[in-house]
Structure 1
Amino acid sequence: MSEPLTESELRQRAVSLLARRDHARRELETKLYRKLGEQPALPAVLAWCDEHGFIDDRRFAGFFVRSRIDRGQGALRIRQELQLKGVDNELIAQALAEAEVDWFALAREVRARRFRQYPGKDQKEKARQLRFLQQRGFNAEQSFAALDCSPEDEL
């Protein structure tokens, strides 16, 4: 077994990861633990990162929500991904509320980008498009609204 890293070496590793992209606190902790194993100085390094503003779950959640909306993902999927990264539910709700997005319009846009034709009366095609929207994280109401509008509604 190798020796534990010094606090300085751990800081370098943490800052190196954060230089690539923003991380949630628990996500960074998990990543460092997986790569380096048990490190006694890890809590001190995370506290240092907090103090210097290198990790901020509120900021991370806001950027994450915006990037996922730009990818065409719905609130349910975004919430689930942030929970997996260890972001507090209160911060997730706040980030989603601050995004000020029309989830119904986004669902229609995502459906239109992926499928050229509206499903109309074809139940099999409607089910296929519904599954797609729900996998993207749109709730049932948003998904059905996107499927039930006609091409004229888009104009």
Structure 2
Amino acid sequence: MNKPLTESELRQRAVSLLARRDHARRELETKLRSKVGDHPALAAVIEWCEEHGFIDDRRFAGFFVRSRIDRGQGVLRIRQELQQRGVASELIESALQETEVDWFALAREVRARRFRQYPQDQKEKARQLRFLQGRGFDAEQSFAALVPGDEEMA
């Protein structure tokens, strides 16, 4: 039978997870809980990580938003993923506003990378719309991305 982890060993596990990538507070707590159960020192370890700057939901949200924009994901999907990771709504909105991204331009760019041509019929238009909405762009951004713009005139 396994002996229970000490608080020090639990801290090492937390730091090991954080060394791989940044985590939101709730995300780290969930991962640790899945490995060690309801450990009495879990809350103290999470607090220790926050006090030492190892976890910071504001920083995490900012990095996360930028990485998802680089992947070509839209605002709706980014917001949903951050909510699933337990980041507070005000931190999510703040991180999204700080990026100052043109979501319409990003939707056009993502569409152009995936599809060679603008849709010629309803079936193709529906396919491209589903693709963009699956990426997290809202209806307005998705429809705007399907209209040939100035970039095609060059």
Question: TM-score scaled to structure 2, two decimals?
Answer: 0.96
The letter for the 2-side match of 1:130 is L
Following the alignment from structure 1 to structure 2, what is the Cα–Cα distance between the partners of residues 17 and 55? 11
Cα displacement string for residues 10-42 of structure 1 (whole angstroms, at most 9, x for unaligned residues): 000000000000000000000001111121000
Structure 1's unaligned 5+ residue stretches are: none
SS of the residue 2:87 aligns to = coil
Indicate yes or no: 2:115 matched with 1:115.
yes
Gap change, CA 1:152 and 1:56, over 3 Å in 2 = closer
Following the alignment from structure 2 to structure 1, what is the Cα–Cα distance between the partners of residues 70 and 36? 34
How many corresponding residue pairs? Answer: 154
Following the alignment from structure 2 to structure 1, what is the Cα–Cα distance between the partners of residues 28 and 151? 47
- Structure 1: 4+ residue segments shifted above 6 A: none
SS of the residue 1:148 aligns to = coil
8 A Cα contact 1:126 1:147, kept in partner: yes
C-alpha displacement at 1:91, in angstroms?
A: 0.2
C-alpha displacement at 1:47, in angstroms?
A: 0.4
Question: TM-score scaled to structure 1, two decimals?
Answer: 0.95
CA RMSD of aligned residues (A): 1.3
> 1:125 matched to which residue of 2?
124
C-alpha displacement at 1:3, in angstroms?
A: 3.4
SS of the residue 1:130 aligns to = helix
> 1:11 matched to which residue of 2?
11
Cα displacement string for residues 44-94 of structure 1 (whole angstroms, at most 9, x for unaligned residues): 000000000000000000000000000000000000000000000000000
Kindly, what percent of the aligned residue pairs are identical? 81
Gap change, CA 1:127 and 1:152, over 3 Å in 2 = same
